[in-house]
Structure 1
């Protein structure tokens, strides 16, 4: 048989395996993993799901265990719309259910992107988004960001240079991978630029509800529902065992995403929608979120203490106000990718910084040239005791390599 690699489509041949590598470390024995953005299994609502399944599944089987409409169950979409109105102050004009947030990105790509179309992203950004955009052969340009999120001046410069982009992808709240939290002032500036340039903004709100204090800033979608499509997921705030998310955006766009979904998995799972609707209608989501915020705040405190204790002054890291991640920067001659085999020997895992960067920069200030001396640490799925030991091992690895 001939080598099938020779037959791969161009988009498949160029795709990376970073997400597969991260997911492969779930529950790896003997390993303290700071790699994946996995939620804490200790706070999964196991009793609620058990009681619901044993008490109400028989009467709800025709909904929970059956195919659903492509756009999602009407009753779940109504509950979701009510929650979005309560939490963000805007009722969605158009809303669909997706099989997780990443599927929503795939549907947007399938609907909007032709090969060579320009996409803007903050630098660095979520690996899964870069994979989705590159899989549809987009031209991905990076825009500078800092601890306050994407820089509006750099965005304006990117919009003024090159062909008009099809979309801008941004994670405003406790960003993956840096933990940055876009300021309210920058949020207004961003949507103003989007309106001026006719730019569609894809807002990923995976971590929006997970601020340690519960404080929230206005979502981009609530500020400009005419130019923003919001991509959300229940994987981080409930559990990823059922793949469930949403897309809310302009009424002219969402029906096209629904049609694209008909050509992928046809519909999101009914069981997950049934569970999530029960949580939303039963006022159980807010207590779940409060528990999650407290848990992740405690784990970040342990991570911060461990990094302060075990890393030297040549290292710095972001100080997230929520979410799952911190971004560590070391000396410029450090190569975190080259350290991965040694890290595994020490029983600790992280993700090097390089995969979070687009290949191109949209301007000379994009600031992603020095990629190899950074790394992302996730503190969400490890206990404080594991974090204490894991940061000790990490300190041995990083300080030894930097000395």
Structure 2
């Protein structure tokens, strides 16, 4: 009965992959390299305790908020973007969302009709694939390498079939590969988008978590006429309060505001006031600096373990920020089978196929090191290395 009642997107199991990964990542009995969670030690508990009594006394704290977000938070954070990225969104170019995923859902709802073509990086964030597919968009993946999206390959795709509605890209410390788009390619991508009239959706979920302080120009700063920037506070503040933002051309923001009436109508006011208080106190910047150092240590532990314990025929990325390293194994090894063996040995990762819209990724996998206890990283990679070593290159 239920299978007959469910919409096609639900009956197909869309979203089950994310649910399973989040479930694994929350199991303390295993060493979970699967979920890209921020670590609880980076959450600003003391700052929130100190500000809560001040914030909750505000009459706006427990009331509905304006659809685009509370004026105080919008003023503080658009100013923050202007200071750090050199472009302050105008009032009609900015909206607060209930996390990055709501932002993705709003964008796909406003931009896609069934059958519309969308370009993404290959591989890309699985949540983006699911949001596009739930809107019945048709996805085509553009190759990546160590310098991020292959812009030359994108140009060939656009020249042969220019009808894409938008390109979704994660330029900074990409999920899942951990690589960043080079400065040269950023400029080339904006020029290409203008030539072809292509909208770029720039997801900056990990932008603030660069380990060495290198800050390449955002795509939104380089091309505000062709870029919608999608952000989240889950990695820099708290995922539990579910807040994000979109900075985009005014006509698109107006459409997003209308679409938000059919999701939650407004993002929770209490969380917005807590974030504004945290930001204006200087805690936001201090917290980002502390998080960079925190995750840098875990990255170093992860890379040292990968260097020491994996077979020499396994390739992996060396991220300069973010939460992830991307592994490639010989073609004969199926990472779904590998994942089953790993789970039996008490470790988890995400097989690569989930990060592609088609049937690629069978010999790739993602490791997330952000939430794994630092002392468990080496132990987990030792186990993974032993499992891989028990395969020969024919996958047996």
Rounded to whole Å, the distance in 2 between the matches of 1:40 and 1:64 is 27
User: How far apart are residue 29 of structure 1 and its match?
Assistant: 2.7
Tell me the TM-score normalized by structure 2. Answer: 0.96
* Corresponding residue number in structure 2 for 1:76: 73
* Corresponding residue number in structure 1 for 2:274: 275
Aligned-pair Cα RMSD in Å:
1.2
C-alpha contact (below 8 Å) 1:95/1:254 kept by paired residues: yes
User: How far apart are residue 124 of structure 1 and its match?
Assistant: 0.4
User: How far apart are residue 16 of structure 1 and its match?
Assistant: 4.0
Rounded to whole Å, the distance in 1 between the matches of 2:289 and 2:56 is 31
* Corresponding residue number in structure 2 for 1:353: 352
The count of residues paired between Structure 1 and Structure 2 equals 390
User: How far apart are residue 371 of structure 1 and its match?
Assistant: 1.6
* Corresponding residue number in structure 1 for 2:2: 4
C-alpha contact (below 8 Å) 2:114/2:135 kept by paired residues: yes
Tell me the TM-score normalized by structure 1. Answer: 0.94
What are the within-5 Å matches in structure 2 for residues 233-244 of structure 1? Answer: 233-244=232-243
What are the within-5 Å matches in structure 2 for residues 258-269 of structure 1? Answer: 258-269=257-268
C-alpha contact (below 8 Å) 1:88/1:222 kept by paired residues: yes
User: How far apart are residue 163 of structure 1 and its match?
Assistant: 5.0
Rounded to whole Å, the distance in 2 between the matches of 1:64 and 1:336 is 47
Give 3-state SS (helix, strand or coil) of 1:24's partner. Answer: helix
Give 3-state SS (helix, strand or coil) of 2:298's partner. Answer: helix
Give 3-state SS (helix, strand or coil) of 2:275's partner. Answer: helix
For the pair 1:373 / 2:382, whether they are aligned, the reply is no
* Corresponding residue number in structure 2 for 1:215: 214
Rounded to whole Å, the distance in 1 between the matches of 2:391 and 2:113 is 43
* Corresponding residue number in structure 2 for 1:66: 63
Give 3-state SS (helix, strand or coil) of 1:63's partner. Answer: coil
User: How far apart are residue 58 of structure 1 and its match?
Assistant: 4.2
What are the superposed Cα offsets for residues 153-184 of structure 1, whole Å, 9 maximum, x if unpaired? 11111111235100000000000000111001
For the pair 1:397 / 2:387, whether they are aligned, the reply is yes
Gaps of 5+ in 2: none
Rounded to whole Å, the distance in 2 between the matches of 1:402 and 1:182 is 34
User: How far apart are residue 10 of structure 1 and its match?
Assistant: 2.6
What are the superposed Cα offsets for residues 1-54 of structure 1, whole Å, 9 maximum, x if unpaired? xx221232233333241111111123313111111110111121111111111x
Gaps of 5+ in 1: 360-368
* Corresponding residue number in structure 2 for 1:366: none
Rounded to whole Å, the distance in 2 between the matches of 1:196 and 1:184 is 19
For the pair 1:383 / 2:373, whether they are aligned, the reply is yes
What are the superposed Cα offsets for residues 343-377 of structure 1, whole Å, 9 maximum, x if unpaired? 22211110000010122xxxxxxxxx652111000
C-alpha contact (below 8 Å) 2:55/2:274 kept by paired residues: no
Range moving further from structure 2, 66-75 or 340-349 = 340-349
Rounded to whole Å, the distance in 2 between the matches of 1:357 and 1:309 is 29
For the pair 1:228 / 2:227, whether they are aligned, the reply is yes
